[in-house]
Amino acid sequence: MPPIQQSFFLRVYDVVKQIPFGRVTSYGAIATYLGSKGSSRMVGWAMNHSHTYDPSLPAHRVVNRNGMLTGKHHFGMPELMQQLLENEGIKVVDDCIQNFSSHFWDPLIELS
DNA sequence: TGATTGACCAACT
DNA sequence: CAGTTGGCCAATC
């Protein structure tokens, strides 16, 4: 799939949309896939307004590099993010995804 | 129109 | 070993 030659923003959304069910990825992985690992902060910012652009974006499948649900507080209800992840078969304990490596979905590999 | 910030990450002190 | 800093891009103050 040819990468969308749009703003950083839209490319982030494009990647997030392609995250498979029951899988998760990290901000840094997305940023690296887009070519700039330094812009991982941007990814987070983009997700902040993700619902404004497209409410259907699976933002709950994007966590930080440690598998910690740092952005859970942005889902309206902090419990919602964990709820959605567990609904996909992902175990979350203390805001951390258990067996994170197994659920990790790397756009660098999967979208190569 | 400059300065600040943001759901991050890695490197450096 | 923990706290700080630089980096990246876009939006808000």
A8 sits within 7 Å of strand C by its CB: yes
What is the pTM (predicted TM-score) of this model? Answer: 0.90
Residue whose entry in the numeric block shows the structure tokens 């259907």:
A56
Its domain, for residue A36, covers 8-110
pLDDT of residue A3: 44
Helix then strand count (H, E) for chain A reads 7, 4
Mean pLDDT for all residues in chain A: 91
- Provide, in whole angstroms, the distance separating residue A32's CA from nucleotide C7's C1': 13
In a domain, residue A2? The reply is no
A75 sits within 7 Å of strand B by its CB: yes
CATH number at residue A50: 1.10.10.10
Count of C-beta atoms within a 10 Å radius of residue A24: 23
pLDDT tens digit sequence for A18-73: 999 999 999 999 999 998 888 999 999 999 999 888 899 999 999 999 999 999 99
Q: Which residue is closest to C6 in terms of CA–C1' distance?
A: A38
Number of domains in chain A: 1
Cβ proximity of A84 and A60 under 8 Å: yes
